Amino acid sequence: MGKNKIKKMKKCAALIILDGFGLGENDAKKNAIFAARTPFLDFLFEKFPHSKLAAGGAAVGVLPSQCGSSDIGHETIGTGRVARKPIKIISDAIDDGSFFKNQKFFDAVNFAKKNNGNFHLFGIGADSFVHSHTKIIFAFLEFLKKNFPPEKVFLHFAADGRDNPPDSGKKFFEQILNFCAEKKIGKLASIFGRFFLDRGQNWDRTEKIFKLLFDKNQKFEKNWREFFDKNYAKKIFDEFLPPTAFGDEKIFPRISRGDAIFDFCFRADRQRQITAAITEKNFTEFSRAKFSEIFAEKNDEKNLKFKNKNAENSENNFLKNEEILRKIFKNEKNFDEKNLKKIADFCGKNGKIGAEILAEKFEIKKNLAEKIWEKIKNNFGKNGGKNLENGENFGEKKIYFLGAIQYSPDLKNAEFAFSPEKSKTCLAEILEKNGFRQLHISGREKIIFVTFNFNRSANLNLQNEIDECAPQTREVENFAENPEMSTPNVAKKILEKLRGENLAKKIAENFKNEKKIDAKKLEKILENEKIDEKKIKKIAEICAENNFDKKICEKKIAEILKIEKKNAAEILKKIKNNFGEKNFENEKNYPEIFVINFENCDQVGHTGDFAAAKKAVESVDAALKKIVPAFLENDFEILVTADHGNADEMCDDRGRPHTAHTKNPVPAIFISANLRGRKLRDGALSDVAPTFLEILNLKIPREMTGKSLFLEK
């Protein structure tokens, strides 16, 4: 190519994360990765430098005995440093006593006390380490024991079945409820499977939990042990247990106005949707009109607003107001409850009333009327029933929602008790500052990790980063039924980017309205040959080498595309107009950086289905066989790793299904057409970003505590 015609090209690199791909024992009965047929992965391990990386415990900022997880793994990979993760922060707070002095806990308790409400604990009732831990549940119950009426504490717990054995839920519930009995605090109100804590925009699942928490008109079971046994007998295990209410509604209430909720889960992904449904004012994913005493939705005719001050209220609104007043007055032994409905009506229509009018109107003693009026003022504001009329009974907050951590910056109405240790920079930001275009891609179940968590758990909105979610090849509820999941589609989208098929469409579109060009013929050539990159590159080289010399370029384009010279002239003109007089090979249609997550080794590993997990691994092998050569053909260098293990241990020593993450290390493989004698050392996930920066010849920032995996020559 001609000198001074071509700008120096940026290096291109791909980071491939095999989610749930650990390096376990060479046991074909336990390790689905070892048992699977993976000829291409075997080739990569044989021909290219590789090493082992620690992916759990202190290496990723969690408890020493803890496995890694997707959020923790991706954040550590993306930031290149080890920061204390929420479970470690909260555990340390319990140990040093600061947990029991947390002001947010007192704010939640005081809200419920002020409004004569109940307190609800919500989350996954298990020692998963990944989403929750009984240490936190027990500590918070101890806090409530000292600071809140114990008979007004209620438990709404999910059974796990993924990060723990699929039938371990009964054991965990036994531990938790025995603790409650011993401490004389808390009653079980709800059980549901973790499956319904959806993170994939399946709002029908979220709605089932929402109704479980708020709907008083549902069937109530009496015996939680029988519930587990009955479902286990039907082969319905912890993850998929149907949302079920327990006890008698008079004793085990649903969540109501004036109550407080503490979600003790310390991982965000499965808490975002249910938190949004509970806290967002303009929530639209499903209707909350039935619970309008809490969620006074816009344009909702069933809410607490009156048509006008003197209009007669409907029976429905009488009952809703009565329910609110009953909560306020239920501790007043001398109050004649037959007057509740009348007071509800009266307060709704009259803003300026007082104790004397109440005593006269409802024939009650003056001292009781004064107590009632004081409560009306405290709960409904200085204008009494006028605020009831406006649906503002408890000010801005109608319920107090507190999460262990912030589940999303977008959830403005949800409070949170603990803040993470934030990283100041990450790999994606460094690439952005250096002008690299990035594509972050995965399937629906893992896209949040390769975008949000990878980018230091922040919504960075980088200008040159594109996030793409590939669909499942077939929609199923149990991933064992479709082990390949999104993997073939992730590979397909990557190949489309590398082969420039989008550029083909763009060029073809430019020619559609040109009368002098046989647009159909040209479009047919482009489609049939899928914009043969060799032809595109050849045209780019000719234009650059010959400085867009009209005579030479027209002739060469005509020869390459087998079209008439006059049509080649029009093509040359279009190229100059649309791509400029420069080598558009260097203006690649694909990004210089790919960050890829193949999700299915983890997701299928969680099912405990060994045969399905093998198929998942084999589908990843097939995808790698397609994309790795394509990357190398386009002068990419590739780093392959994983966030944690899973499919590497599918059963325990007794042959029982193992559905949790593993403590095994994960691989690092460096793939390049020019290895230059490079070798890799063993390390940890925090070393991945520094290694990737060295591949790109970029400086490693001081904030990254990880080190490059390349051994010095």
| Rounded Cα–Cα distance for residues 130 and 164 (Å) | 10
- CA-CA-CA-CA torsion for 580, 585, 591, 595, nearest 10 degrees? -170
Burial of residue 687 (CB within 10 Å: 0-12, 13-18, 19+) is buried
The residue type found at 538 is K
Which residue(s) pair with 441 in the sheet? 468, 596
Which of 70, 423, 486, 708 is catalytic? The answer is 70
Residues, the chain: 713
> Is-contact 206 279, C-beta < 8 A?
no
| Rounded Cα–Cα distance for residues 245 and 424 (Å) | 44
| Rounded Cα–Cα distance for residues 139 and 74 (Å) | 29
- 3-state percent breakdown (helix, strand, coil) of the chain, nearest 5: 45, 10, 45
| Rounded Cα–Cα distance for residues 591 and 15 (Å) | 13
> Is-contact 679 649, C-beta < 8 A?
no
- Backbone angle region of 157, left / alpha / beta, with phi > 0 → left and psi within -120 to 50 → alpha: beta
> Is-contact 256 157, C-beta < 8 A?
no
**Main-chain phi, psi angles of 554, to 5 degrees:** -60, -45
| Rounded Cα–Cα distance for residues 139 and 137 (Å) | 6
Burial of residue 171 (CB within 10 Å: 0-12, 13-18, 19+) is middle
Q: What letter would DSSP give residue 701?
A: P
Task: Name the residue among 509, 644, 638, 521 with its Cα closest to residue 578.
Answer: 509
| Angle (deg, nearest 10), helices 366-380 and 340-349 | 50
256 is catalytic: no
Burial of residue 310 (CB within 10 Å: 0-12, 13-18, 19+) is exposed
HEC-encoded secondary structure of 109-173? HHHHHHCCCCEEEEEECCCCCCCCCHHHHHHHHHHHHHHCCHHHEEEEEEECCCCCCCCCHHHHH
| Rounded Cα–Cα distance for residues 420 and 437 (Å) | 29
Question: What is the distance in angstroms between the CA of the first residue and the CA of the last residue of the chain?
Answer: 33
Task: Name the residue among 91, 129, 61 with its Cα closest to residue 421.
Answer: 61
| Rounded Cα–Cα distance for residues 273 and 285 (Å) | 10
* DSSP conformation letters of 169-202: HHHHHHHHHHHHHHHT--EEEEEEEGGGS--SS-
* Residue 81 exposure: Cα atoms within 13 Å on the Cβ side: 18
| Angle (deg, nearest 10), helices 70-79 and 688-695 | 40
For the annotated catalytic residues, the residue numbers are 70
